[in-house]
C-alpha cells in the first residue's frame, strides 16, 4: 500500500521595529509589537484556526485513519501564547488524537546549524522541551529550518540520538533517484532520511489557484490518483507545506479546505494510506545512502542556502551575531537570552537577500540594505549589553573559567549553609529531649547567651557559700 505523509509548517518571527543609530545604548526593546500582534491574529483567523479544525474533522471522519505531521517553531508558539492562546488549545486537541506527530526543530527557526554546532544543539533541546511540556510528546523526527541539511548536520543529529530526519528531495542531489524512498545518511548510516516530493507539494501551493496551469482545476480525486499511479515500489510520499498557505495564500473561497477534507475518502478508495513520519521510518527499510557535502534547503530552484548567506550583508550580520554566542550562553540575564533567541530567526537574514531573492513580498523593509541597517543597529545595542556583563578584553576561555570558579564557590557556600542548618537542628532536637542547658549556635547575639550557659552551677554555689560564712565567724568569736 502506498503511504503519504503531509507536513504542515508553522513559524512566525518576532519582527523588529524601526531602530535608529541614535537608539543604540538608549533603547533596549527591539520589537514591533503592533505588527506582531496584527499579523499573528490575521493569519490565525484566516489560516491556523480553520486548518486545525479541518485536520480534526478529517481525523474524526476517517476514524483516525488520516494522519499528518506539524513542525512549529518556538518563536511561533510564544507569539501564539501571547496573542492567540486558543490556537494552542486546538494544537493540544490534535496531539491528543495520536494522529498528529510534532517534529523536532530549532527553537527560533535559526541558521545555527550552519554557524555554531553547540548553539544548534542547545536550540533543538530547548525546542523539544517546549513541545513536550505543552503537548506531552517527545519529538522523534527532525526537520531543520527550511529543511537545511548536509553531512555535518547528520553527524550532529546522530550524536543527539535522532534516527530520522526530513529534508529536501533536491534534484541535484538525487540525480536519477526518486525522493519517494527512505535513504540513509552517508556520514551517519544510522540516520534515516525522508525526502520531500517537490512536484506534488507545488501542485497545491503554487498551482491550486492558477487558471493558466495545464491541470487546473486541481481536485482531490485527481491528486490522489497521481499519488496512486506512482511506481508500486516507491515507498513513501512526503508532502511539505506551510500551514498559512491554506487560508492566507489560498483563501477559503478557492475551495482549498474542501479539497483537503476530500483527500482521505479518495485515498481509501485508491488504496493510499496516510501515515506519520516516525511510523514510516520505523517500518520502511532504506534503499541506499545519500552523501550531501554541501548544505541544501527547500528554497528556490537552486535548493541551497544562498537565500540567507548569499551576499556580504548577510554573512557580516551572521558573523557578528554568532561571535558573541558563547558569552550570551554564559550569562543568566533572562531578557538578554530572550533577545538572543529572537535575533537568530532566519527571517531577519532573508530580508537582506539580493538578486533573485531580493525584496520578498512579506518583507517589512523597502530594500535589503534597509533590512541590514536596521538589524545591525539592533545588534550593536545587543552587543553593548553583552559586553557590559562580560567585557571584550576578557577572553572567552578565561571568562568561562572565572564563571566556573564563582559557581563552584557558590555551590560550596550553599552546601556549608545546609550543613550548619542541619547541625543547628540536631542540637535543638537534643536540647528538647534532655531539657539540659546546651550551647546554642547563633549567628548574632552570642555574647548575650553566655550567662545562661552556667545558671545551675552558679546558683548552687551562690546558695552554699553565704550559709557557711556566718558560721565560721561565730566560732572565731567564742574562741576569742
Q: Are 478 and 462 in contact (CB under 8 A)?
A: no
Annotated catalytic residue within 101, 119, 123, 146? 146
C-alpha count within 13 angstroms, C-beta hemisphere, residue 464: 6
The C-alpha cell 543609530 sits at: 21
**Geometric angle at alpha carbon 219, from 217 and 221, rounded to 5°:** 145
The C-alpha cell 572565731 sits at: 476
What is the distance between the alpha carbons of residues 151 and 160, in angstroms, rounded to a whole number? 14
Query: What value does the CA radius of gyration of the chain take, rounded to a whole number of Å?
Result: 34
Sign of CA dihedral 53, 55, 59, 61: positive
Burial class (CB in 10 A: 0-12, 13-18, 19+), 123: buried
- Alpha carbon 51 to its chain's center: 23
Alpha-helix runs per DSSP H in 324-395: 325-330, 334-343, 347-350, 368-389
Burial class (CB in 10 A: 0-12, 13-18, 19+), 301: exposed
326 labelled catalytic? no
Q: Are 281 and 167 in contact (CB under 8 A)?
A: no
Written as nine digits, the cell of 460 is 548552687
Q: Which residues are catalytic?
A: 146
Amino acid at each position: 500500500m502506498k503511504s503519504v505523509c503531509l507536513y504542515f509548517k508553522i513559524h512566525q518571527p518576532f519582527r523588529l521595529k524601526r531602530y535608529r543609530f541614535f537608539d543604540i545604548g538608549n533603547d533596549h526593546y527591539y520589537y514591533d509589537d503592533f505588527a506582531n500582534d496584527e499579523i499573528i491574529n490575521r493569519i490565525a483567523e484566516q489560516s491556523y484556526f480553520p486548518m486545525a479544525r479541518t485536520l480534526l474533522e478529517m481525523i474524526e471522519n476517517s476514524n483516525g485513519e488520516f494522519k499528518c505531521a506539524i513542525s512549529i517553531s518556538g518563536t511561533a508558539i510564544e507569539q501564539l501564547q501571547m496573542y492567540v492562546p486558543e490556537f494552542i488549545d486546538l494544537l493540544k486537541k490534535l496531539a491528543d488524537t495520536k494522529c498528529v506527530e510534532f517534529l523536532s526543530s530549532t527553537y527560533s527557526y535559526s541558521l545555527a546549524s550552519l554557524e555554531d554546532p553547540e548553539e544548534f544543539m542547545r536550540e533543538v533541546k530547548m525546542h523539544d522541551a517546549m513541545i513536550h511540556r505543552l503537548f506531552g510528546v517527545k519529538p522523534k523526527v527532525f526537520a531543520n529550518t527550511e529543511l537545511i541539511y548536509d553531512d555535518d548536520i547528520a553527524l550532529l543529529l546522530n550524536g543527539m540520538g535522532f534516527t530520522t530526519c526530513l529534508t529536501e528531495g533536491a534534484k541535484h542531489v538525487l540525480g536519477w533517484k526518486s525522493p519517494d524512498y527512505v535513504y540513509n545518511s552517508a556520514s551517519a548510516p544510522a540516520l534515516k532520511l525522508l525526502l520531500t516530493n517537490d512536484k506534488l507539494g507545488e501542485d497545491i501551493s503554487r498551482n491550486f489557484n492558477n487558471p493558466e496551469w495545464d491541470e487546473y482545476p486541481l481536485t482531490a480525486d485527481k491528486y490522489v490518483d497521481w499519488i496512486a499511479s506512482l511506481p508500486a515500489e516507491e515507498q513513501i510520499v512526503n508532502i511539505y507545506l506551510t500551514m498559512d498557505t491554506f487560508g492566507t495564500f489560498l483563501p477559503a473561497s478557492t475551495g482549498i479546505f474542501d479539497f483537503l477534507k476530500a483527500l482521505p475518502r479518495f485515498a481509501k478508495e485508491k488504496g493510499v494510506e496516510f501515515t506519520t513520519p516516525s511510523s514510516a521510518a520505523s517500518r520502511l527499510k532504506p534503499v541506499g545512502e545519500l552523501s550531501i557535502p554541501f548544505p541544501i534547503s527547500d528554497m528556490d530552484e537552486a535548493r541551497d542556502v544562498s537565500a540567507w548567506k548569499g551576499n556580504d550583508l548577510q554573512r557580516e550580520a551572521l558573523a557578528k551575531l554568532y561571535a558573541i554566542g558563547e558569552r550570551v550562553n554564559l550569562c543568566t540575564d533572562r531578557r538578554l537570552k530572550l533577545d538572543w533567541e529572537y535575533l537568530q530567526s532566519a527571517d531577519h537574514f532573508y530580508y537582506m537577500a539580493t538578486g533573485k531573492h531580493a525584496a520578498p513580498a512579506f518583507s517589512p523593509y523597502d530594500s535589503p540594505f534597509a533590512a541590514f541597517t536596521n538589524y545591525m543597529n539592533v545588534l550593536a545595542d545587543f552587543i553593548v549589553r553583552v559586553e557590559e556583563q562580560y567585557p571584550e578584553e576578557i577572553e572567552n576561555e578565561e571568562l568561562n573559567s572565572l564563571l566556573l570558579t564563582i559557581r563552584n564557590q557558590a555551590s560550596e557556600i550553599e552546601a556549608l549553609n545546609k550543613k550548619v542548618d542541619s547541625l543547628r537542628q540536631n542540637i535543638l532536637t537534643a536540647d528538647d529531649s534532655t531539657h539540659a542547658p546546651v550551647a546554642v549556635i547563633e549567628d548574632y547575639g552570642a555574647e548575650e547567651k553566655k550567662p545562661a550557659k552556667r545558671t545551675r552551677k552558679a546558683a548552687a554555689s551562690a546558695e552554699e557559700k553565704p550559709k557557711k560564712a556566718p558560721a565560721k565567724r561565730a566560732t572565731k568569736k567564742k574562741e576569742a
